[in-house]
Amino acid sequence: MEMSDVGVTVKKSENFSEWYTQVILKSGLADYAPLKGCMVFREHSYAIWEKIREIFDKKIKEKGHRNAYFPLFIPESFLKKEAEHFEGFVPECAWVTIGGSRKLEERLAIRPTSETIIYKMYAKWIRSWRDLPIKLNQWCNIVRWETKATKLFLRTREFLWQEGHTAHATREEAEKEVMEILEIYRDLMENYLAIPVLVGKKTENEKFAGALYTTTLEALMPDGKALQMGTSHNLGQNFSKVFEIKYVGKDEKEHYVWQTSWGISTRLIGALVMTHGDDKGLVLPPKIAPIQTVVIPIFYKEVEREKILEKAKEISEKLQKNKVLTVLDDRAEYTPGWKFNDWELKGVPLRVEIGPRDLEAGQVTLARRDTFERIVVKEEEAVKIVNEVLKEIQKNLYNKAKKFLDEHITTVKTYEEFKKVLESKGGFIRACWCSNTECEEKIKEETGATIRLIPFKKEKVFSNCVYCGKEAREVVYFAKSY
Amino acid sequence: MEMSDVGVTVKKSENFSEWYTQVILKSGLADYAPLKGCMVFREHSYAIWEKIREIFDKKIKEKGHRNAYFPLFIPESFLKKEAEHFEGFVPECAWVTIGGSRKLEERLAIRPTSETIIYKMYAKWIRSWRDLPIKLNQWCNIVRWETKATKLFLRTREFLWQEGHTAHATREEAEKEVMEILEIYRDLMENYLAIPVLVGKKTENEKFAGALYTTTLEALMPDGKALQMGTSHNLGQNFSKVFEIKYVGKDEKEHYVWQTSWGISTRLIGALVMTHGDDKGLVLPPKIAPIQTVVIPIFYKEVEREKILEKAKEISEKLQKNKVLTVLDDRAEYTPGWKFNDWELKGVPLRVEIGPRDLEAGQVTLARRDTFERIVVKEEEAVKIVNEVLKEIQKNLYNKAKKFLDEHITTVKTYEEFKKVLESKGGFIRACWCSNTECEEKIKEETGATIRLIPFKKEKVFSNCVYCGKEAREVVYFAKSY
């Protein structure tokens, strides 16, 4: 197979959407499933998901959360209990109507989210203040029957996620939980995925169906569209009232619990691809890369073979021992050049080459995936410098993305400006809003942009409402989005 | 709450089935879901599943397997491709017939197993010998529409499992893979779960629908019934021929691949409960216990409180530092006696008590969950001895189960004996068989016992067929089973 067949054949800057799909398919991250709207998470993307899972799982377990697993099936009557929730999710449910050879009496939704089935259990388990808080999380598959065009990782009928569900004695505790989780998400996104995010509240219109309010983390993709990276909801007592989740307090009276729910999904992998990828393929931040370095032996004559292979093995073992996730690519059936391209396509942050000249000089050559810079280092310093360079790559990827984000937040005062910026540059548009849903909806209708978030720290109003021109009540961030 | 309300109220020896359910519900392992046939894996059982996952995952990754994730939905036409497979699984599928508000053109099964959807992809991915072997595994939920009574962990409409799916260039490689996985399973079951198993082949009648042959691991439960703990199938070319999974070999000719599939599920947790549990509740082998020791401070007077709590904290931190999974139970709202019962119910292998007398004498008191033996040890030796005792508990649980298994393998020569042993003692019945499916089916019909396995090492025939009296061809192991 020629590399020209397998490499990415379009430029990121020229056809972003086609580039995105090619990178995913050709790097072996994922594939389309042989049924409409579904995808296969191949080993490369699943390994990234395992890393995300490991990082997040550790952090929530340290905070006392535990994992559990609730049924895939949700009876329609459960979904109906909370009216907003029902309205929000029913249009995109897949329904099981036959079990074995029998028609079911009540149809069952494949979970589009699990609030209702989980809270049915919470109502059973929670009796007294001693049972609180409950802080459970589940890692599972989710089904939403999308009808728009499939977009790998971003819009598929099935995806993977985690959903946390907590119940607390007081409103304050629930509020604290919402913000603590948001902070863990932010840390994961910025310090591991190297994707900077804006955080804030959703408007009434954009909040989770059934929540009191929704907090969100929004990233900006290179095509100027925002991507919702995760959400953390304060459910208030909306669900506890309909599901009768009550506890007897220290005051010996009955109270409804206060609840939160929150989730991140495999769409984060889509964000990784878009944010860091380049014309050669994927670029993975070292802290999330399942393989951080690949060691490639290079020899032209058969006589060099054994010694170089031995040295390559030695170095890759040294790296592994020092907890650098390393693969030695000693496959005989491919040339070094083919391997370079292949691992670049797959986004491995750092390549370690060992050729005849390196061997002779007691050195190795490092090649950075992010900048393509080549660095010759003494063999005995290899581990130390590999670690340093990996840290630099991590930082560099974040900084590049942060610079892009910062340069794509534009403050506007008029609707004309708003539309011009949206068309020409995209990104986040910072504007004043009167807080009326009507203006929000008109803007969406006319431009496709929605309010991505209201910053937590109220920013100072600097103009009238960008749409109606009446008095504005707050500063919000608009964008087109995935 | 009085302990009499929460403790197990029936004896294991008196009402095994009721005891089993009580232990699961009261230890907080699991609960019935609010829809028929389904269960909730609460945090305690999910933590055990995470341990199983961690152990097995590490072992297969070392052997070069990778995890991936394939769609939940399987179009009916895929299932139909392999006739035996279709016949085996279709009667117990749950069917999605509506997506959003539309009736689907083809109904979709919720995966009862994923051979068909995965092999559809393998047919696409595999081109040349360079693409082989493919060794993928997925951890996922599985749905089989059971109609018999629900039994937590053993018979529910949804459960969790791993399914491995490999494709190889040669028959020999596939055979090797089947046996290597079987050995990893055996190691997991015997050396971690402390459950001894018999291994062998299934008969044609009992094999996986679509396999060339099935290998199995069978354990014996205390009520004399066998439990299939895991299976590893050699699929031969049955699926590769119907799904057209071909590769071009080094000989430049096209060949069908050879395949294997294998799985273990959350039913292993049911086996743990049954095998090791006692009248006080769960007993977990240390190597699979999410919590290995619980440290409980005991004080009667307020003046002792602070010092004892401090010491308890110190010891629990020391244990954690030495990688003993330890919890300090310093809850003020419960008495030490209540805590003892609670942790015994949950099966924590070892309790570490620190009371006023212990504090004074510079010692701690260990209490073994398996034997209830109490051991007083010097504080400075606590970590060392805790580790030793945990090892002993692990060994003791295995040995007890092994003794039970050995005592419940009975060799019989006649059908009269067969029936008598099955009625009176249960367990495995070792008997000679003519290899005719008819005899196998008659025995099943008349006694409920099936051939659990044919040992790999052909055992010497010692009588005529236990059913028909004609010449026997092999020695097999019968049992009633879950």
Which parts of A248-301 fold into alpha helices (H)? 267-276
Residue B9 CA to its chain's centroid (Å): 26
Query: What is the C-alpha to C-alpha distance for residues A43 and A6, in angstroms, rounded to an integer?
Result: 18
Identity of the residue numbered B70: F
Structure tokens at B4: 């009499």
Q: What is the pLDDT of residue A372?
A: 98
Ramachandran assignment for A167, one of left (phi > 0), alpha (psi -120 to 50 degrees), beta (any other): beta
Query: What is the C-alpha to C-alpha distance for residues A172 and B126, in angstroms, rounded to an integer?
Result: 56
Query: What is the C-alpha to C-alpha distance for residues B146 and B144, in angstroms, rounded to an integer?
Result: 6
Range of the domain at A94: 3-276
Question: Is the separation of the CB atoms in A319 and A295 below 8 Å?
Answer: yes
Query: What is the C-alpha to C-alpha distance for residues A109 and A92, in angstroms, rounded to an integer?
Result: 10
Per-residue pLDDT tens listing for chain B (482 residues): 444 457 999 999 999 999 999 999 999 999 999 999 999 999 999 999 999 999 999 999 999 999 999 999 999 999 998 888 888 888 999 999 999 989 999 999 999 999 999 999 999 999 999 999 999 999 999 999 999 999 999 999 999 999 999 999 999 999 999 999 999 999 999 999 999 999 999 999 999 989 999 999 999 999 999 999 999 999 999 999 999 999 999 999 999 999 999 999 999 999 999 999 999 999 999 999 999 999 999 998 888 899 999 999 999 999 999 999 999 999 998 999 999 999 999 999 999 999 999 999 999 999 999 999 999 999 999 999 999 999 999 999 999 999 999 999 999 999 999 999 999 999 999 999 999 999 999 999 999 999 999 999 999 999 999 999 999 999 999 999 99
The verdict on B374 and B432 lying in the same domain is: no
Residue A261 is inside which H or E element, if any? strand A258-265
The verdict on A210 and A306 lying in the same domain is: no
The verdict on B447 and B385 lying in the same domain is: no
SS3 B349: coil
Per CB-CB distance under 8 Å, the chain B contacts of A97 are 95-98
Q: The domain spanning residue A192 has which CATH number?
A: 3.30.930.10
B143 interfacial to chain A (CB closer than 8 Å): yes
B145 interfacial to chain A (CB closer than 8 Å): yes
The verdict on B334 and B251 lying in the same domain is: no
CB contact under 8 A, B121 and A34: yes
Query: What is the C-alpha to C-alpha distance for residues B204 and A136, in angstroms, rounded to an integer?
Result: 44
The verdict on A264 and A298 lying in the same domain is: no
Q: The domain spanning residue A448 has which CATH number?
A: 3.30.110.30
The verdict on A261 and A334 lying in the same domain is: no
Provide the chain B residues 108-127 that lie in CB contact (below 8 A) with chain A: 108, 110, 117, 120-121, 124-125
Q: What are phi and psi of A271, to 5 degrees?
A: -65, -40
For residues A443, A445, A447 and A450, what is the CA-based torsion angle, rounded to 10 degrees? 60
Per CB-CB distance under 8 Å, the chain B contacts of A147 are 100
The verdict on A474 and A325 lying in the same domain is: no
Whether B102 is in a domain gets the answer yes
A128 interfacial to chain B (CB closer than 8 Å): no
CB atoms within 10 A of CB B16: 16
Query: What is the C-alpha to C-alpha distance for residues A200 and A177, in angstroms, rounded to an integer?
Result: 15
Q: At what angle do helices A382-407 and A302-321 cross, to 10 degrees?
A: 70
Burial of A314 (0-12, 13-18, 19+ CB in 10 A): middle
The verdict on B256 and B300 lying in the same domain is: no
CB contact under 8 A, B101 and A95: no
Per CB-CB distance under 8 Å, the chain B contacts of A96 are 94-97, 110
Per CB-CB distance under 8 Å, the chain A contacts of B40 are 68-71, 121
The verdict on A201 and A321 lying in the same domain is: no
Whether B91 is in a domain gets the answer yes
Q: What is the pLDDT of residue A201?
A: 98
Per CB-CB distance under 8 Å, the chain A contacts of B38 are 71, 73
Nearest residue on chain B to A112, alpha-carbon basis: B100
Q: What is the pLDDT of residue B5?
A: 58
Q: What is the pLDDT of residue B108?
A: 97
CB pairs under 8 A between A and B: 152
Question: Is the separation of the CB atoms in B185 and B440 below 8 Å?
Answer: no
Q: What is the pLDDT of residue A5?
A: 58
Residue ranges of E strands in B179-300: 198-201, 213-220, 226-236, 246-248, 254-256, 258-265, 293-297
Residue ranges of E strands in A337-373: 350-354, 363-368
Question: Which residue among B276, B309, B328 closes a domain?
Answer: B276
The verdict on A189 and A270 lying in the same domain is: yes
The size of chain B, in residues, is 482
Whether B28 is in a domain gets the answer yes
- Among A365, A361, A339, which residue's Cα sits nearest to residue A352? A365
Residue A43 CA to its chain's centroid (Å): 17
CB contact under 8 A, B97 and A93: no
**Interface-testing mutation among B78, B96, B129, with chain A (most A C-beta atoms within 10 A):** B96
Question: Which residue among B216, B243, B276 closes a domain?
Answer: B276
Whether the link from the prior residue into B133 is cis, omega within 30° of 0, is yes
SS3 B128: strand
A475 secondary structure, DSSP code: E
- Among B208, B262, B243, B256, which residue's Cα sits nearest to residue B77? B243
CB contact under 8 A, A33 and B70: yes
Whether B50 is in a domain gets the answer yes
Q: What is the pLDDT of residue B3?
A: 45
Whether A400 is in a domain gets the answer no
Provide the terminal-to-terminal Cα distance of chain A, rounded to the nearest Å. Answer: 35
Query: What is the C-alpha to C-alpha distance for residues A465 and A481, in angstroms, rounded to an integer?
Result: 21
- Among A35, A10, A13, which residue's Cα sits nearest to residue A25? A10
The verdict on A244 and A193 lying in the same domain is: yes
Burial of B191 (0-12, 13-18, 19+ CB in 10 A): middle
B71, B91, B125: residue with CB nearest A100: B91
CB contact under 8 A, A43 and B143: no
Provide the chain A residues 360-419 that lie in CB contact (below 8 A) with chain B: none
B283 interfacial to chain A (CB closer than 8 Å): no
Q: How many domains does chain B have?
A: 3
Q: What is the pLDDT of residue A4?
A: 47
Q: Encode A67-105: b = buried (16+ Cβ within 10 Å), e = exposed.
A: bbbbbbbbbeebbebbeebbebbbebbbbbbbbbeeebe
Question: Is the separation of the CB atoms in B440 and B450 below 8 Å?
Answer: yes
Whether A403 is in a domain gets the answer no
Mean pLDDT per segment of 10 residues, for chain A of length 482 residues? 68 97 98 97 98 98 98 96 87 96 96 96 97 98 96 98 98 98 98 98 94 97 98 97 97 98 98 98 98 96 90 97 97 93 97 96 97 97 98 98 98 98 97 97 98 96 97 98 96
CB contact under 8 A, A98 and B98: no
Whether the link from the prior residue into A75 is cis, omega within 30° of 0, is no
For B292-337, write each residue's pLDDT tens digit: 999 999 998 888 899 999 999 999 999 999 999 999 999 998 999 9
Whether A397 is in a domain gets the answer no
Whether B401 is in a domain gets the answer no
Q: The domain spanning residue B312 has which CATH number?
A: 3.40.50.800
Question: Is the separation of the CB atoms in B369 and B349 below 8 Å?
Answer: yes
CB contact under 8 A, B96 and A99: no
Average pLDDT taken over every residue of chain B: 96
Query: CA-based angle A338:A342:A345, to the nearest 5?
Result: 140
Query: What is the C-alpha to C-alpha distance for residues A403 and B77, in angstroms, rounded to an integer?
Result: 51
Query: What is the C-alpha to C-alpha distance for residues B331 and A335, in angstroms, rounded to an integer?
Result: 63
How do strand B213-220 and strand B226-236 relate by DSSP bridges?
antiparallel
Per CB-CB distance under 8 Å, the chain A contacts of B243 are none
Question: Which residue among A327, A357, A390 closes a domain?
Answer: A390
Structure tokens at B330: 């310093």
Structure tokens at A416: 């004309």
The verdict on A163 and A231 lying in the same domain is: yes
Query: What is the C-alpha to C-alpha distance for residues B313 and B336, in angstroms, rounded to an integer?
Result: 16
**Interface-testing mutation among A95, A250, A338, with chain B (most B C-beta atoms within 10 A):** A95
Which parts of B300-381 fold into alpha helices (H)? 302-321, 336-346, 356-361
Half-sphere exposure of A211 (CA within 13 A, CB side): 25
Nearest residue on chain B to A39, alpha-carbon basis: B71
B50 interfacial to chain A (CB closer than 8 Å): yes
B68, B96, B120: residue with CB nearest A41: B68
Question: Is the separation of the CB atoms in A96 and A108 below 8 Å?
Answer: yes
